Amino acid sequence: MLVLSRKKDESIMIGDQIEIKILAVEGEQIKIGIVAPKNVKVHRSEVFEAIQAQNREALTASSSFLEQLKKK
């Protein structure tokens, strides 16, 4: 893990197309802005994990459904 210190109005570049901007620091909370191409999906980690869980569930359900179809 790379750990960087940034102040308000400073940014971090990831590659040459993704920029993470520090917009505000308010107590324990930091507001960031992310500038990325439209084809790059950006999610909060808890949303990303929920999407991954739903994808795994759908894959399992699809496999079960296919097995049922094979039996018919």
What would the DSSP string read from start to end of the chain? -------TT-EEEETTTEEEEEEEEETTEEEEEEE--TTS----HHHHHHHHHHHHHHHHHHHHHHHHHHH-
In this prediction, residues 23-34 reach a mean pLDDT of 96
Separation between Cα atoms, residue 68 and residue 72, nearest integer Å? 7
- Mean pLDDT across 23-29: 95
The CA–CA distances, whole Å, from 26 to 7, 11, 57 equal 12, 17, 38
**Banded pLDDT at 34 (limits 50, 70, 90):** very high
Q: Which pTM does this prediction carry?
A: 0.69
- Percent of the chain's residues with pLDDT above 70: 92
